[in-house]
Structure 1
Amino acid sequence: MDVFLGIDTSCYTTSLCLVDDAYEVVADERIILSVAKGGRGLSQSNMVYQHTRNLPVLFERLAGILSRAHIRAIAVTDQPRRRDDSYMPAFLAGLGYARALAAVLGVPLYRLSHQENHLLAVLRSLGHIGTDPFYGIHLSGGTTDLLRAVPDERGLDITRIGGTSDISAGQFIDRMGVALDLPFPAGIHVDKLAQTVNPPVKGAHVFCRDGQVSFSGPESQGQRLVASGGEDPARLCSWTLSTVWRGLESLLDYAAADGMKHLVAAGGVMSNAYLRHQMSDYCRCHGIRLDLAADGFSADNASGAAFWAAVQEGKKS
């Protein structure tokens, strides 16, 4: 069996993925990096250390499959965004493994950005990349970006047209979760608590100008609510997600006014059930085609990279 290997070593997850020549996931292995209780992140050196420990474990998990398979190509994330000034040491761990494996196996190596990997993870579930430009929104622990993407020979040529002017939606959610004594990353825990509140709590106003939203004001407001001790944690989680949605809705309004007809939504924050539902309703009401990642593939994973390797090798057939 021919397989294509994707490797991603992001800020909070070590990921390996194998896809076949039909772009189906053969294996998907990940380890979330450990953050001390009460912590709100990791240093780059700690990320590199944990990725270095995790990668052999993940390859050992894949050993049974790899013993029966033939790796035809490898793709790896090597920077956060495809820009000359985009750099993060965490990606060196995965890049080193990818270069060594490609050299030993004598197979092609493709490099792409973490952001491209996320958007391609959505496109993999569609089974093709296409040639038409599209709009994207990338929502993660460190990123809230509104994008225009054009498929090209290297992956996706991405231009940022909006997003956050300060903290990301993911940082807002994580900081509120940590303040409520939830584990970090807090997204999944905030989501679960918020789902117990019906109807959702109305969120705070989010300032938006020229396609840039600001979550720092609502975060300060939320921290004061937590410190007061008078608010139910589940309702605060619901308020947090509703506030995030108000910011995202402003970004979508900006993109719709710019002519958006097709949106690809990616990143760990798009695992959130409430935000997926709200975005789906918005796009349906505005006649916008929305593509979301398959279940489990919004959060950090290497399926987009593996998909890209398969697509590139398929062009040679």
Structure 2
Amino acid sequence: MKNQNIYILAIESSCDDTSAAVMQNDITLSNVVATQKIHEEYGGVVPELASRAHQQNIVPVIHQALAKAKIDKNQLSAIAFTRGPGLMGSLLVGTSFAKSMALGLQIPLIEVNHMQAHILAHFIKEEDFNSPGFPFLALTISGGHTQIVLVRDYFDMEILGETLDDAVGEAFDKTAKIIGLPYPGGPLVDKLAQNGNAHAFPFPKPKVKGLDFSFSGLKTSILYFIQRETAKNPNFIEEHKEDICASIQYTIIEILMSKLKKAVKETGIKQIAIGGGVSANSGIRKALKNAESELGWTTYIPKFEYCTDNAAMIGIVGYLKYREEIFSDQSISAKPRYVIP
């Protein structure tokens, strides 16, 4: 098995992006993502609309992934898919398609935990990118999750801390909505923050025990602040938008970094890998790079396309599981609440 090429077709459908990828061992041959624009007018993901869009997108996306990879479906070694966590309707589309295709081709089926995949995306082979050695700490930050994970091996992970309420991506999007930015607001906050004063408006940082996070209190304090200031000056947001965004982003990054520093102190591990859509944030990337020179950390930041939800990260887990012959049977079902095993 080690001497032959393993071809994995991977399917990701946990939220509102339909993605398919083809992996040749640990190398990405194709990674196709269909983004659903329909949710923008609602200011957030509508689960029913998301699952319907997945049904429309999944066949053309898989067809395109196979064509780009120049691979015939009969060459595939296995089908890997996101079992969870995620939106139930969205997961069902990917799960049922993966099961049917694996059954039809009579090849193994491999279930993947979405959050585990964000971490193991660091092991996709890329030029000019070195994978972390074990053990390392992973900070997984996305629209639905915020976790610090101790990674001892590919399939030996322990969650050291996680959010008690809102995820960090949710905090970005909801505070963006408060100041009138369209969905998804996180990238817009990042863009505006780059020209603002991060210390213009100090926001409170929640006091949470251990390595857990909380962002709901920050969101509420920003809401009250905006209401108070706009009552005095109706043009307050427009006149201070860049400073507001910079101050919000600074506070969120300070919360993340303080917990990460605590985790490093407690574990003695200075290898830090980030993953999830929010890891594309320029402020977080800069803070981690500063920690390399100031604190002696070694940080690992994947390519942008492997930060957001994508099937290549599902594919690398599929490849690693295939090597160990960790397969699923046809009785497997989607699992919207699925913690890292």
Instruction: Provide the TM-score with structure 1 as the length reference.
Output: 0.86
Q: For residues 232-288 of structure 1, what are the alpha-carbon distances to aligned partners after superposition, in whole Å with 9 as ceiling and x for unaligned? A: 222222122111111101211220121232222110000111111112212442222
Aligned match of 2:236: 230
Q: CA deviation at 1:171?
A: 0.9
User: Residue 75 of structure 1: which of 68, 77, 80 is its match?
Assistant: 80
Write the distance in 2 (CA, Å) between the matches of 1:157 and 1:46.
36
Q: Summarize the Cα distance change of 1:222–1:300 in structure 2 as closer, same or farther, 3 Å threshold.
A: same
Structure with higher strand content? 1
Identify the residue that residue 46 of structure 1 maps to in structure 2. Answer: 49
| Letter aligned with residue 162 of structure 2 | G
Secondary structure at the aligned position of 1:136 is classed as strand
| Aligned-partner SS, 1:166 | coil
Indicate conservation of the 8 Å contact 2:81/2:98, yes or no.
Answer: yes
| Deviation sequence 1:139-184 (CA, Å, 0-9, x none) | 0001111112233xxx533322113222111111001222233332
Deviation at 1:68, TM superposition (A): 4.1
2:23 to 19, 27, 43: 19
Match of 2:9 in 1: 5
- Say whether 1:278 aligns with 2:280: no
- Structure 1 regions of 5+ residues with no counterpart? 81-85
Identity between Structure 1 and Structure 2 (%): 23
- Summarize the Cα distance change of 1:11–1:161 in structure 2 as closer, same or farther, 3 Å threshold: same
Deviation at 1:62, TM superposition (A): 2.9
Normalising to structure 2: TM-score of the pair?
0.80
CA RMSD of aligned residues (A): 2.6
Partner deviation per Cα, 1:21-70 (whole Å, 9 max, x = no partner) = 3x222111112233142523323x33322222221231232353366442
* Paired AA for residue 144 in structure 1: T
Give the whole-Å Cα distance in 2 for the aligned partners of 1:72 and 1:127.
26
Matched with 2:184 is 185
Equivalence for 1:133:
135
Q: Which amino acid aligns with 1:192?
A: K
Cα distance in 2 for residues equivalent to 1:113 and 1:314: 17
1:207 aligns with 2:206: yes
Matched residue, 2:115? 115
Q: Please identify, of 306-315 and 251-260, the stretch whose mean Cα deviation from structure 2 is larger.
A: 306-315
Q: Is the 8 A contact 2:198 2:246 kept in 1?
A: no
Check 1:203–1:27 CA distance in 2 against 1; reply closer, same or farther (3 A cut). Answer: farther
Change (3 A) 1:129 1:12: same
Contact 1:188 1:272 in 2 (8 A): yes
Counterparts of 1:36 and 1:214, CA distance in 2: 26
Judge conservation of contact 1:122–1:294 (CA < 8 Å) in 2: no
- C-alpha separation between the residues in 2 aligned to 1:56 and 1:203? 49
Deviation at 1:313, TM superposition (A): 4.2
Equivalent runs, 1:168-183 vs 2, <5 Å: 168-183=167-182
8 Å CA contact 1:5, 1:71 repeated in 2: yes
Instruction: State whether residues 80 and 315 of structure 2, in contact with CA within 8 Å, keep that contact through their aligned partners in structure 1.
Output: yes
Q: 2: distance between equivalents of 1:58 and 1:36? A: 21
Partner AA of 1:235 in structure 2: D
Matched to 1:307, the amino acid is I
- Counterpart Cα distance in 2 of 1:214 and 1:176: 14
1:32 aligns with 2:40: no
- 1:145 corresponds to which residue? 147
Structure 1 pair 112–62 and aligned structure 2 pair: CA distance change class (3 A): closer
Whole-angstrom CA distance in 1 between matches of 2:283 and 2:323: 37
State the secondary structure of the residue aligned to 1:206. Answer: coil
Structure 2 equivalent of residue 83 of structure 1: none
Distance in 1, Cα, partners of 2:131 & 2:210: 32
CA contact (8 A) 1:38 1:178 kept: no
